[in-house]
Amino acid sequence: MADQVATAPPRGARSRRQRAFFANRLAVFGVVVLGIFVLVAVLAPVLAPFDPYAQDLGGRFQPPSGTHLLGQDELGRDILSRLLFGARVTLSAGLLSVALAAVVGTAIGLLAGYRGGWFDAVLMRLMDILLAFPSVLLAIMIVSTLGPGLGNAMLAVGIVSVPQIARVVRSAMIGLRDSDYVLAARSMGAGHGRILLRTLLPNCLGPLIVQATLTLAAAILDIAALSFLGLGAQAPTPEWGAMLSDAFRAGFHVFLTSQFAIVFPGLMIAVAVLCVNFIGDGFRDVFDPKAVR
């Protein structure tokens, strides 16, 4: 049972990690705010004061008022309601993209780091090729090939996020594959699959969690960017990037008279990304062996 013993963190270590995370006030702030975003997304049908798809052309670009707290957009739709429902679309799209990247990237990193040799070299050169392209540009190329749509945008963002996770897991694997507890597991007859999944993978979770959290911030930005360009969420889906795009398409006068239609969706994207980055920094403190002892 060497693999199980080696991967079971002591209770004292877990306590120190918790203290390290909660000592980071920005990380705690990020958890609280992002938790509110998630709660709002789940309760959007209850909290939204209006149907996010209901149009009122007579109220185009009306400023915030007692009835419409954040104003109305280019079709007279309630901006607050669309922001609440947009949280569902943007956050879930980012999470699903990162989940795809985490599964594929972890598998590639585990196999490359464990096997080594030419197998490792081939996989890492493929990752280097993907990293050679700017992430948004590569995502645009993929979506342009597959066709516009939120599903294809999530797939594209997931693909461009794979190399970062794969390289992080591979780096962790290189330092673990010849460790004493791996050798002990082999001597007890454990197969490659058991060693990878039961012994090595749990010990890679620290850097994997940190990288996946930071990747989530980039994924939210990329999803919003693709929707802004018309390649992600399609009208009339309430998505934060698509809301920005709709406001910009209404004309230059938006900058002069209806800035709220741009400010509120952009602010939601910025706050969400900032909070996710704060949480990622908190996890980095938690799993830093020099910081937590």
DSSP 3-state of 78: strand
Query: What's the pLDDT band for 52 if we cut at 50, 70, 90?
Result: very high
Q: Is the peptide bond before 236 cis (omega within 30 degrees of 0)?
A: yes
Average pLDDT, the chain: 87
Query: What's the pLDDT band for 2 if we cut at 50, 70, 90?
Result: very low
What does the pLDDT average to over 216-231?
Answer: 94
Which pLDDT tens digit goes with each residue over 122-159? 999 999 999 998 888 999 999 999 999 999 999 999 99
Cβ neighbours around 187 below 10 Å, total: 9
Query: What's the pLDDT band for 21 if we cut at 50, 70, 90?
Result: confident
Query: What's the pLDDT band for 189 if we cut at 50, 70, 90?
Result: low
Q: Which residues contact 279 (CB under 8 A, 6 or more apart)?
A: 27, 30, 31, 34, 213
Q: Is 78 left (phi over 0), alpha (psi -120 to 50) or beta?
A: beta
Q: What percent of the chain has pLDDT over 90?
A: 58
- The yes-or-no verdict on residue 3 having pLDDT over 80 is no
Query: What's the pLDDT band for 10 if we cut at 50, 70, 90?
Result: low
CATH code of the region 11-44+70-287: 1.10.3720.10
Which pLDDT tens digit goes with each residue over 168-183? 999 888 877 666 666 6
Which pLDDT tens digit goes with each residue over 245-279? 988 887 777 777 888 899 999 999 999 999 999 99
Which pLDDT tens digit goes with each residue over 200-217? 778 888 889 999 999 999
- Amino acid identity of residue 101, one-letter, is A
Angle subtended at Cα 205 by Cα 163 and Cα 7, rounded to the nearest 5 degrees? 145
pTM: 0.87
Higher pLDDT among residues 66 and 290, named by residue: 66
| pLDDT for the residue 178 | 67
Query: What's the pLDDT band for 185 if we cut at 50, 70, 90?
Result: low
Rounded to whole angstroms, the Cα distance separating 241 from 91 reads 12
What does the pLDDT average to over 239-244?
Answer: 92
- The yes-or-no verdict on residue 163 having pLDDT over 80 is yes
What are the sequence ranges of the domains in the chain?
A: 11-44+70-287
Which pLDDT tens digit goes with each residue over 77-95? 999 999 999 999 999 999 9
